């Protein structure tokens, strides 16, 4: 995949870490940028798998981000705002799940990828043997998904398995 240093929001980082799939980020992208606002959110629960990864994974690099004024009207959380600001400034991919933040990204021309896409791309590149189980694990790790979205992701996962 080799995207250049994407920036990640708390939700994808937390859900992938809790499902034991956080290594996909490193395997797909190498270094992943984590804005300070996102790191602060993740580190609130020091015992969480994402907090452990953030403090021990050298490939997760914290970055200070100045939020531009044009994002204030979107009323997003500090983590989402910082992710989008960094992506706007650098032109990198934003790994983000929040629907309002995704709409903001689309309006501003920021490329995005969500947690499910990380898992499915991991399967496409042969990093996951069973994408169906991987999707189930992410959902079981607490990621809320509409049933229709989850069924669509499972259909894509089945197609990937057939293509191998």
Q: What is the CATH number of domain 1-164?
A: 3.40.50.1010
pLDDT band at 83 (very low <50, low <70, confident <90, very high): very high
Q: Is the pLDDT score of 1 beyond 60?
A: no
What are the structural domain ranges in the chain?
1-164
Question: In which element (H, E) is residue 68 found?
Answer: none
| Runs of H (alpha helix) within the chain | 10-18, 23-29, 36-42, 49-56, 78-90, 99-108, 115-124, 131-140, 147-163
Q: Is the pLDDT score of 53 beyond 90?
A: no
For the whole model, what pTM was predicted?
A: 0.92
Q: Is the pLDDT score of 137 beyond 80?
A: yes
């Amino acid at each position: 995949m080799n995207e250049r240093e994407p920036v990640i929001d708390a939700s994808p980082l937390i859900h992938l870490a809790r499902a034991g799939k956080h290594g996909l980020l490193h395997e797909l992208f190498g270094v992943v940028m984590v804005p300070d606002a996102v790191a602060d959110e993740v580190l609130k629960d020091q015992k969480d798998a994402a907090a452990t990864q953030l403090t021990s994974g050298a490939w997760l690099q914290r970055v200070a981000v100045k939020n531009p004024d044009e994002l204030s009207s979107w009323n997003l959380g500090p983590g989402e705002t910082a992710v989008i600001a960094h992506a706007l400034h650098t032109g990198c991919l934003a790994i983000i799940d929040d629907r309002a933040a995704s709409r903001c990204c689309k309006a501003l021309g920021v490329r995005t990828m969500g947690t499910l896409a990380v898992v499915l791309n991991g399967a496409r590149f042969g990093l996951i043997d069973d994408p169906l189980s991987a999707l189930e694990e992410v959902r079981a790790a607490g990621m809320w998904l509409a049933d229709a979205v989850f069924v669509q992701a499972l259909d894509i996962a089945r197609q990937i398995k057939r293509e191998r």
